[in-house]
Amino acid sequence: MKHTTWITGTLLAASASLANTAAVPGENAKPNIILILNDDIGYGDLACYGNPVADTPNLDRLNQRSISFSNYHASPMCTPTRSALLTGKDPIRTGGDFVCMGRSLTRTDIPMASQFFKTANYRTAIFGKWHLGNNIPFRPQDRGFDEVLTFLGSHIASAPDYWENDYWNPKLLHNGEWKQYRGFCTDIWFDESMKWIESHSDQPFFLYLPLNAAHGPYWSPQDLKKKYEQRGLQGAEAGFYGLIDNVDQNIGRLLRFLNEKQLDQNTILVFTSDNGTAFGDKVFNAGMRGKKRSLYEGGHRVPLFIHWPGNLSESREISEPVQTQDLLPTLLDLADIPLPGAEFDGISFAEQIRPGSTADFPERKLVVQYGNDSKTGGHRKYDGTVIWNQWRLVKNNELYNLETDPGQQTNVIDQYPETARALREHYEAWWDTVSPFKYSRIHIGSPEEPVSTLSSKDWAYGYCDDPGNLRRGTNATGVWHLDVQTAGTYSIKLHRWPPESDLSITAGAPKFIGKYGWFEKGAALPIAGAKINIGGQTLTVPVKPDDQSADFTVELDAGETELATWFLLENGKPRCSAFYAQLKRIQ
């Protein structure tokens, strides 16, 4: 299976040939790109696909006026879809194939969409959820985005995010600086996006709008939550649909804005989602089995609309299988951006969707891979689904024919041995090209990030990402994979709580009460000491009850290393790893 990675030299060489492609008014202007990625909204969560309770009139109209895809496949979880979307590569190949545990850091030697479009003289911006790395060199500003407004981690209030952040009036990172914003988070993403578009009309733009809705904790605007409670839903389920309703309203606002600013005809707007439904499967799942995290159809078949009134005016539905990896090469092709030497795992289907085209989609087999760590870290073989026309091979031992069994209830692997063999052979050949997994490494000692704050979200081999695990003080351990940029003397401070919380290592945390949601009290832990291992050195220090950090000073050589940490009980036994660490070169 052929695949190559673009190197920096190729990207720079292409830059010279594309430097004069700035958009000017006229029919030859490059199209603008708006790429909207929803969080946890599945195929069956929209009214246009039959949902009986969802109110999504703007998305329903967008579907009717777009090229839509009824057989489009993402990953079953968010980070791998984001990595595939921005690179055109299989997630497992990029280093960003899981949501945490050191596997959500997309390799820097693989260019991203933002870098491709910036090379073509586009303005680039992200407003919303990044989830592909919080530290250098993985931040969005390191990956070609001119304008950045985001938060840290998988969702607002997750472990790496600003302490006790809320969906209302959140603290957000604007070009690397924390800033307080007013309003509801989804409204803010759209408000700031439209402001940015209005101020950058002199060049074509690539706007990446990855929403954190409808991800938990399902803190919906209350009027919308009550609306769905009146339709018979309760609690988080009503909040989930309230978040989707708010997304729909903002989509309507954006479409009206583009029309009023006369940008609609030359703007390609893509609407899709990162995985199957998180909470809507019990309401309506379009006849599919599975949901978010599942390798069955409901885990990875999601909506995809491509809307470009000026060029793709012929709305229709396409039923051929396509996947996330196809979108970047397709968008580059639609924008007529030549990239000599660039190769992707996905294909461009631009020709197939142009008006009047008779080009067929190529018959091919696709792999959706997702799963937890193997015993040695990284992905596990056979945690995947192979897609071939109507066939689905799940985890190597289940075969389903979606033509006769769309709900994947009957395993027919014994009845169709030749089909199973063909799908297994494809998977084996594919697997040989993506293994073994290699962890990406966070840079420390870089002048662009003098203090590196690490969180348990990026531990390898251990899990602690959501606020529940953090507040309970989960009994887990992990390791950070690092790359020391400059040899020298380093200060390492270990924390139980985020540094900005001002809480001591042993202290509990008070209950957090947000505008319409809360987190329970955080547990106090009987920590008496702390230990680290880094660069071949093992050091231990005592921890006093009022200490906010356990402090170490170490000499580090430049190059790759790992940081392992432990908080110790009075008897010297490990309780857990440090949930946060701050590293700074001091000499």
Q: Tokens for 184?
A: 């509801």
For 483-524, write each residue's pLDDT tens digit.
Answer: 999 999 999 999 999 999 999 999 999 999 999 999 999 999
Does residue 554 lie in a domain region? Answer: yes
At residue 2, the 3 state secondary structure works out as coil
Residues 183 and 191 sit within 8 Å (Cβ to Cβ): yes
Domain shared by 336 and 311, yes or no = yes
The reported pLDDT for the residue numbered 12 is: 37
Residues 189 and 211 sit within 8 Å (Cβ to Cβ): yes
DSSP element (H, E) containing 530? strand 529-534
Does residue 496 lie in a domain region? Answer: yes
For 339-350, write each residue's pLDDT tens digit.
Answer: 878 889 999 999
What is the mean pLDDT of the segment spanning 145-149? Answer: 98
The reported pLDDT for the residue numbered 374 is: 67
Does residue 580 lie in a domain region? Answer: yes
Number of folded domains that form the chain = 3
Domain shared by 179 and 59, yes or no = yes
CATH number at residue 545: 2.60.120
Does residue 6 lie in a domain region? Answer: no
∠ CA 25-123-449, nearest 5°, is: 170
One-letter-per-residue 3-state SS of 102-130: CCECCCCCCCCHHHHHHHCCCEEEEEECC
Domain shared by 304 and 183, yes or no = yes
Domain shared by 446 and 430, yes or no = no
Does residue 405 lie in a domain region? Answer: yes
Determine the Cα–Cα distance for residues 150 and 211; give it in Å rounded to an integer.
Answer: 10
The reported pLDDT for the residue numbered 321 is: 98
Domain shared by 407 and 454, yes or no = no
Higher pLDDT, 437 or 292: 292
One-letter-per-residue 3-state SS of 194-248: HHHHHCCCCCCEEEEEECCCCCCCCCCCHHHHHHHHCCCCCHHHHHHHHHHHHHH
For 284-335, write each residue's pLDDT tens digit.
Answer: 999 999 999 999 999 999 999 999 999 998 899 999 999 999 999 999 999 9
Give the residue from 434, 457, 481 where a domain finishes. 434
Band (20; pLDDT cuts 50, 70, 90): very low
Query: Which residues have C-beta within 8 Å of that of residue 206, sequence separation ≥ 6?
Result: 32, 33, 35, 113, 114, 117, 118, 122, 123, 124, 125
Domain shared by 272 and 399, yes or no = no
Helices and strands (DSSP H and E) totals, the chain: 13, 28
Domain shared by 202 and 278, yes or no = yes
Mean pLDDT, the chain, as a whole number?
Answer: 94
What is the mean pLDDT of the segment spanning 407-419? Answer: 98
Determine the Cα–Cα distance for residues 250 and 59; give it in Å rounded to an integer.
Answer: 10
What is the mean pLDDT of the segment spanning 210-231? Answer: 97
The reported pLDDT for the residue numbered 28 is: 57
Band (3; pLDDT cuts 50, 70, 90): very low
Neighbours of 340 (CB within 10 A): 8
Burial letters 549-559, b for 16+ CB under 10 A, else e = bbebebebeee
Domain shared by 333 and 424, yes or no = no
Indicate the DSSP class of residue 133. Answer: -
Domain shared by 416 and 555, yes or no = no
Domain shared by 483 and 575, yes or no = yes
Does residue 567 lie in a domain region? Answer: yes
CATH number at residue 60: 3.40.720.10
Domain shared by 238 and 332, yes or no = yes
Does residue 15 lie in a domain region? Answer: no
The reported pLDDT for the residue numbered 108 is: 96
Pairing of strands 316-318, 67-69: parallel
For residue 265, the enclosing domain spans 32-353
For 526-535, write each residue's pLDDT tens digit.
Answer: 999 999 999 9
Does residue 21 lie in a domain region? Answer: no
Whose structure tokens read 């969560």? 45
Give the residue from 290, 322, 353 where a domain finishes. 353
Give the residue from 306, 326, 353 where a domain finishes. 353
Domain shared by 156 and 216, yes or no = yes
